Amino acid sequence: MLTDYEWQALALSLKVSSVAVAASLPVGILVAWVLAKKEFWGKSLLNSVVHLPLVLPPVVTGYLLLLLFSRNGMLGQPLQQWFGLSFAFSWQGAALAAAVVAFPLMVRAIRQAFENVDPKLEQAARTLGASPFKVFYTISLPLVYPGILAGMVLAFARSLGEFGATITFVSNIPEQTQTLPLAMFSFIETPGAESEAARLCIIAIVLSITALLASEWLLRRNHQERR
């Protein structure tokens, strides 16, 4: 049904988005919790930095990533040296770009969920002998589960659609960094490839709807368990 080329782009998109979401989730939960529950000096600065990718033009985000994570970049060089981790022109780089761009959406959803957790329940848990850590993983975390799910879906969808920062940071290399949107861009640029572009367009729509339905189903199941 799908050509090899389409499969490649689809598989790469799914891999890049999944890795982007999975790798940024622990950090996202931590940052969301800190922003929702803690008061500290520099909180609004942290908040602004987290939200920056949401308001910056993606090309600027991509350019900054290039500065930081290229082979000679401030972070790219030590990461390569110490961990053998290279982001430049690889699918890992595409995942990093997707994660950074989707991060604010993930944090916003989870943060809101944390803010909705009644602090009275957390107080009650403390009087029942629970340490703050136990309160976090037995009360707060389970109660924000729907928010985490929503954040993951949003971040996944945003990652699937990521274009500007990716093409700037890791370029458009088939099998390496050419995700669905980038593949589609290539077809649109190629004269006479309108039908190929349209097929990719349909694949993208089906993929997004599937992700949304899956999250709906998970949320409903979570709610039913409590009845």
Partner 1 sequence: MLSLKISKQLGQCALDFHCDLPGHGVIGVFGVSGSGKTSLINMIAGLITPDSGSITFAGQCFFDGNKGLNLAPERRRIGYVFQDARLFPHYTVQGNLLYGCPKEEQDKLSEVVELLGIAHLLSRFPEQLSGGEKQRVAIGRALLTQPEMLLMDEPLAALDQPRKQELLPYLKRIAKRSQIPILYVTHQQQELLQLVDELLVVSDGQVACQGTLEEVWNSPAMLPWQQAEGVSSLLLAKVMQQDERHGMTPLSLAPECHLWSSEVSLAPEQQVRLKVAAKDVALSRSKPEGTSMRNIVAATITDIEVLAQQQVMVSLNLAEQVIKAQITLWAQQEMKLQVGEQVYALIKGINLQGVAL
Both tokens assigned to 11 = 């598989």
The nearer residue to partner 1, 82 or 133, going by C-beta atoms, is 133
Q: How close are the terminal C-alpha atoms of the chain, in Å?
A: 42
- Number of residues forming the site for partner 1 (CB under 8 A): 18
> At closest approach, how far in Å is the CB of 106 from partner 1?
22
- Written as one string, the DSSP assignment of 29-43 is HHHHHHHHH---TTH
Would you tell me how many other CB atoms lie within 10 Å of the CB of residue 16?
A: 27
- Measure CA 182 to chain center: 18
CB of 85 to partner 1, least distance (A): 38
For partner 1, the closer of residues 140 and 215 by Cβ is: 140
Which residues in the 157-216 window bind partner 1 by CB under 8 A? none
Packed helices 91-116 and 145-161: angle between N→C axes, nearest 10 degrees? 150
Min. distance of Cβ 222 from partner 1 in angstroms? 9
Of residues 127 and 195, the one with the C-beta less far from partner 1: 127
Which residue lies nearer to partner 1 by CB, 48 or 138? 138
- Sequence-ordered list of residues with C-beta below 8 angstroms from that of 109, at least 6 positions apart, any chain: 147, 148, 150, 151, 154
In the complex, what is the shortest distance from the CB of residue 32 to partner 1, in angstroms, rounded to a whole number?
19
Beta-carbon neighbour count of residue 118 at 10 Å?
10
| Closer of 141 and 201 to partner 1 (Cβ) | 141
d(CA 102, CA 108): 10
Closest approach of partner 1 to the CB of residue 29, in Å: 17
Site string for partner 1, 108-147 (x = CB under 8 A): ----------x-xx-xxxxxxxxx------xx--xx----
| Residue 15, φ and ψ in degrees, nearest 5 | -65, -50
Cβ distance to partner 1 smaller for residue 19 or 113? 113
Helix (H, G, I), strand (E, B) or coil at 2: coil
Q: Is 3 in the site for partner 1 (CB under 8 A)?
A: no
Q: x-or-dash pattern for partner 1, window 19-58, by CB under 8 A? A: ----------------------------------------
Q: Is 154 exposed, middle or buried (0-12, 13-18, 19+ CB in 10 A)?
A: buried
User: Cβ of residue 155: shortest distance to partner 1, in angstroms?
Assistant: 24
Residues that bind partner 1 (CB under 8 A): 118, 120-121, 123-131, 138-139, 142-143, 226-227
